Amino acid sequence: AQKVTQAQTEISVVEKEDVTLDCVYETRDTTYYLFWYKQPPSGELVFLIRRNSFDEQNEISGRYSWNFQKSTSSFNFTITASQVVDSAVYFCALSEASPEQGGSEKLVFGKGTKLTVNP
């Protein structure tokens, strides 16, 4: 069965530090998608990025970057020059077809990493 592991429960950094959030996944499928979501204190999840299993190119969006490595089943997220507004819980998620549900797709989430950026 698919599984997402975010080993870091909580991380605390000082503003302007770089920080990397780890995500390791397990899947038997060759076609799958990986996602990162941000959950600020307000509670609503905000979509950050989607990556398909055939595209291993790293991606950069402003201060955010993602490193996808199929060889290690990892999809790590780095925030460069962190800011207080980056404080949130970050979730990594895996989308995979579920044969037992007639091919229906489900999103499996990791337990999240709580990032605190101190001024």
Partner 1 sequence: DGGITQSPKYLFRKEGQNVTLSCEQNLNHDAMYWYRQDPGQGLRLIYYSQIVNDFQKGDIAEGYSVSREKKESFPLTVTSAQKNPTAFYLCASSPDRVLDNEQFFGPGTRLTVL
Q: Which single residue is written with the structure tokens 């592991």?
A: 5
Task: Return the DSSP state at 16.
Answer: T
38 makes contact with partner 1 (CB under 8 A): no
Half-sphere CA count of 3, side-chain side, radius 13 A:
4
43 makes contact with partner 1 (CB under 8 A): yes
Closest CA to 23 of 83, 89, 68: 68
Q: What is the CA radius of gyration of the chain?
A: 14
The window from 1-9, 15-23, 57-65, 71-79 that contacts partner 1 (CB under 8 A) reads: 1-9
50 makes contact with partner 1 (CB under 8 A): yes
- Binds partner 1 by CB under 8 A, chosen from 11, 13, 24, 45: 45
Task: Name which of 73 and 80 has its Cβ closer to partner 1.
Answer: 73
Cα end-to-end distance, the chain, whole Å:
41
Cβ(51)–Cβ(59) below 8 Å: yes
Contact positions with partner 1 (CB under 8 A) in 55-114: 91, 95-97, 101, 104-107, 109-112
41 makes contact with partner 1 (CB under 8 A): no
Contact residues for partner 1 (CB under 8 A)?
4, 6, 9, 31-33, 35, 37, 42-47, 50, 52, 91, 95-97, 101, 104-107, 109-112
